A = this chain, B = another copy of it.
Amino acid sequence: MDNRKIGVFDSGLGGLTAVKEIMHLFPDESIVYFGDTGRVPYGTRSKETILKYTHDDINFLLSRDVKMIVIACGTASSAALPEIKGEFDVPIYGVVDAGAYEASRVTKNNKIGIIGTTATIKSGAYNKYISEYNPKSQTFEMACPLFVPLVENGHFNTPVTKLVVEEYLKDIRDAGVDTLILGCTHYPLLKNAIAEYMGDDVTLISPGEEVAKFLRKKITPENAHSSVRDDEQYSYYVSDSVSSFEELGGIFLETKINGKVNKIDIEEY
């Protein structure tokens, strides 16, 4: 038994996809979430800055006494995690490993598309994991920097979004992939527009959901939470305004989180 919490962080809101899935698969576990809303986005920043912010985020979660950490941010998982993995005392799992594993498993023609932020694509992290899990596969990648702002401004399936989807995905579709990794936690919100363009034969992988399944191998009777717990099973921290996170986070999680969100100064960690 290990009644410490599971720490999850993302640059913003998107990581709540992973939280929702962990709540669902591990109803006894406690979760502490941090969204770095005061410094989002990560995907356009230099590797140096992404490393610094990832350190801060992990240090904050460690201060909350967690037993493991899930990096729900595609950018931090790909550009920072491989480098810092060994520096901390608790295990750290990223969405990239989980997404690459699932894509390698489901592809039939061994042609896998990868889309993500500029930093994620630049890191080559998905390629690295995929070539380990499925050495026969070929990958086709594209950075999609306008997808995050489109999602954040409610452009889920508008004419603007359709145009941008075509611009970014044309080469990947033409390459004939049968599997596409949505390598940023915002992208599942564009699922309809992406699926329409890619066609029914292409399987879309959401690493934020996959990471929860991945934890099945990591949460064992030895380190699972006992069913006894206090009121604070779920708590949320942000680095910008609490109110907008409460509102949008509630929509993401499909449950009210008002009163459970606190603001912290991440620059102190």
Q: Which residues of A contact B (CB under 8 A)?
A: 37-39, 44-46, 48-49, 145-146, 148-150, 152-153, 155, 159-160, 163-164, 167, 239-241, 244, 267
Tell me the bound Cα distance from A164 to B162 in angstroms: 12
Instruction: Report whether A244 and B163 are in contact in the complex, using a CB–CB cutoff of 8 Å.
Output: no
The contact of A149 among B39, B149, B239, by CB within 8 Å, is B149
Instruction: Report whether B49 and A240 are in contact in the complex, using a CB–CB cutoff of 8 Å.
Output: yes
**What 5 pairs across the A-B complex have the smallest Cβ distances?**
A46-B241, A149-B149, A267-B267, A49-B240, A160-B163
This protein's copies in its complex:
2
With A49-B240, A49-B241, A267-B267 already in contact, the answer to whether A160 and B149 are too (CB < 8 A) is no
Q: Could you say which residues of chain B place their CB within 8 Å of the CB of A148?
A: 149
Instruction: Report whether B159 and A163 are in contact in the complex, using a CB–CB cutoff of 8 Å.
Output: yes
Smallest beta-carbon distance A117→chain B, Å: 12
The contact of A153 among B37, B145, B240, by CB within 8 Å, is B145
- Output the nearest chain B residue to A163 by Cβ-Cβ distance: B160
The contact of A46 among B48, B160, B167, B244, by CB within 8 Å, is B244
